[in-house]
Structures are given as C-alpha cells and as structure tokens.
Amino acid sequence: MSRFGATILDADGLRLTREEKALFRDANPFGFILFARNIDTPDQVRALTSDFRDAVGRNAPITIDQEGGRVQRLRGPTWREWLPPLDFVTAAGSRAAEAMYIRFRLIAHELCALGIDSNCAPMVDVPGPGTHEFLYNRCYGTDVSTVTTMGKAANDGMLDGGVLPVIKHIPGHGRATADSHFDLPRVSASRASLERDDFAPFRALRDTPMGMTAHLVYDAIDDRPATLSPKVMQAIREDIGFENLIMTDDISMKALTGSLTDLSRGALAAGCDVILHCNAPLSERAEVANAAGEMSDAAQSRAERALGYRRTPDDIDISALDAQLSKLLGGAGHG
C-alpha cells in the first residue's frame, strides 16, 4: 500500500475543480471531509465522493459531521432531521441507548448511500458547569456513565452500518467555557478529576477506529493546546490507552495561533497522525499538505488498521427501524 499523505482535506464546492484534483493527486491525502457547501442532491454528492477517490486513485475514507441536531451537514427534506443529542436522549428516556443505536444506524444508512464511509461522531465530551453553548446540547448526557453508554451505542450503530466512527474531542472538551472555533479554552481542573470524568468515556471507547483532538489547554498537564502538546498526546496513548488513528480537529480554528506550516508540523511532532484542515483557500490546503508530508510509519500503520474496521452494512429493514425509533420517542419523530 502506498504511503498516505498526513492530511484530511476538503473541497470548495459541489464538484472538484481542476486545481483541486491536481493537488489531491500530488498530496495523496489520507481522506476527505464534506461540509454543507458540498451538499446539494444525492446524485451530486455521490459524484463528488467519486471525484475525491478518483483524484487519489483509491478508496479513500470520506468523512462528514453528521451528529444530528445543530451539527449535521445533510439536512431535510432530502435527509432526516434530528433532535440535538441531549434532547434526543432525554426524549428516549430509559430506552435511550436503543434509540441512539438506531439514530446512528439510520445516519450510517444515509451516509453509505452517498459514498460517505466515516462520521465525526460519537462526541463523548462530558459537560460540566459553564460548558459553552456551542457544545452543551451536542453532548450525550450529563454524567460519565450515560455519555459512555450512548457513545458505545452510536459507535455500534455506525459500524454495523458500514461507517467508521471518529470519537471526539479526545481527551475531553466538556469543561470548555469558550468556543474553540473562535478562542482557546483553558481548563483548570486537576489531573485526578480529568482522569475520573473527562478521560473516562474515551478510555471505555478506546477501540474506536479514529479519534479527533480537542483544541484546549489543560493547565494540569501542559500550557500548550492539547493538539500541539506531546504531554497530552502521551496521556491519550498511555493513560486512556487509545492506540488507533488520531486526527487533529480543524487546525484553521481560531483556538490555535501560528502559521499553518508550524501548526501542522507541531501537531504531528506532538503525536497526532493526520492533520484535518478545512474551510480555506486552495493555497492554504497546499501549504498544509506540503508541511504535513507523508504519514510516519506508526501513523500509516494506524491508518491501515482504521480502514480494517470497514465492513459491509448489515442487512436491516430501514423502514422498520424508523418506525421503531418513532415509537421509542413517543411519536416525537426524529427532530
């Protein structure tokens, strides 16, 4: 197998431009990610996912943020609309784990039909006092046990449906009181409390094929953002025991400062395997691809192991699942 580029990149529009195709051919990114601007009709999305794979000459993974609720790139009426995860879990009550499995099995069904075989979920951050609103209702519960149980159900639903989960935001974003899209959150909790609460769901779900970092500072561990911190990455690998592929959260987010070249190299040096870079001009995508280069031996091995989790979706009656979910939600519908 040829060495992958240590990047996950995106596209400007509904189809690839000639320049994008050339960049992807040369950079050979590990995979790609889709946003709302890349979504129009099912046929168009299928053509775009084919474009991506044709550009690199292989069945590259293509991911998306389809959490449901506020963060979902596929929207109604073409695709299902979903309640925010926290509201969904509340509506399902004692059968929330069953409902969460069905939710993500249905999401996987929609993704696979479009050529999308990865999803940036489950999000198993545990909220706390003051959790920023950008994150709060995206959480799966308000305690470690609930978040872990729902995260496992989401994982199982996606894997059974042929979609690779990406657990986030490792090792835990729940205490953040700022939005890392715009600011760098700082968490002052003790190492012991981080281990007990924030790290626990990730430890329980450490066999997830891929993980995405959190852009925030844990004062008890390091003064550098987790994505750029060898100490935090060591905690992820050794304390949490997560040995699979780790991608950064989008390095163009305002929580991180510095040149894209420095950020890309810094994240890889800290121990991340692949750089996620989104929502930027072609010149910046080229800069990141050049700075990241090819995957290290260890990253390549993890990438191949992640792809080894791919499976053919199980044979299931989707309309029956829809009906079962509506019953579980007491007729509330999906969203």
**59-69 mean pLDDT:** 97
Q: How confident is the model at residue 224 (pLDDT cuts 50, 70, 90)?
A: very high
Its CATH class, for the domain covering 5-325, is alpha beta
**81-91 mean pLDDT:** 96
What CA–CA distances, in Å, run from 31 to 4, 56, 113, 157?
9, 9, 18, 22
Q: According to the model, what pLDDT value does residue 180 have?
A: 84
In this predicted structure, the answer to whether residue 128 has a pLDDT above a threshold of 80 is yes
In this predicted structure, the answer to whether residue 130 has a pLDDT above a threshold of 90 is no
CA separation for the pair 241, 323 (Å, rounded): 38
CA separation for the pair 292, 328 (Å, rounded): 46
Q: How confident is the model at residue 333 (pLDDT cuts 50, 70, 90)?
A: low
* Residues with catalytic roles: 181, 249
3-state SS class at 168? strand
**251-275 mean pLDDT:** 95
pLDDT tens, position by position, 143-178: 999 999 999 999 999 999 999 999 999 999 999 888
Parallel, antiparallel or unpaired: strands 164-170 and 210-213:
parallel
Mean of per-residue pLDDT scores for the chain: 96
Which of residues 179 and 84 earns the better pLDDT score?
A: 84
pLDDT tens, position by position, 170-203: 999 999 888 888 899 899 999 999 999 999 999 9
What percent of the chain clears pLDDT 70, i.e. is strictly above it?
98
Q: According to the model, what pLDDT value does residue 332 have?
A: 63
CA separation for the pair 230, 272 (Å, rounded): 9
Q: According to the model, what pLDDT value does residue 176 have?
A: 87
Spans of all domains in the chain:
5-325
Q: How confident is the model at residue 132 (pLDDT cuts 50, 70, 90)?
A: confident
In this predicted structure, the answer to whether residue 123 has a pLDDT above a threshold of 80 is yes
**273-292 mean pLDDT:** 97
pLDDT tens, position by position, 5-55: 999 999 999 999 999 999 999 999 999 999 999 999 999 999 999 999 999
Helix (H) or strand (E) holding 246: strand 245-247
CA separation for the pair 31, 52 (Å, rounded): 9
Q: According to the model, what pLDDT value does residue 107 have?
A: 98
Q: How confident is the model at residue 129 (pLDDT cuts 50, 70, 90)?
A: confident
> Which of 146, 151, 217 shows the shortest CA–CA distance to 187?
217
What percent of the chain clears pLDDT 90, i.e. is strictly above it?
91
- What are the tokens at 149? 């149980």
Going by C-beta distance under 8 Å and a sequence separation of 6 or more, which residues neighbour residue 235? 171, 199, 221
Q: According to the model, what pLDDT value does residue 255 have?
A: 83
CA separation for the pair 62, 43 (Å, rounded): 16
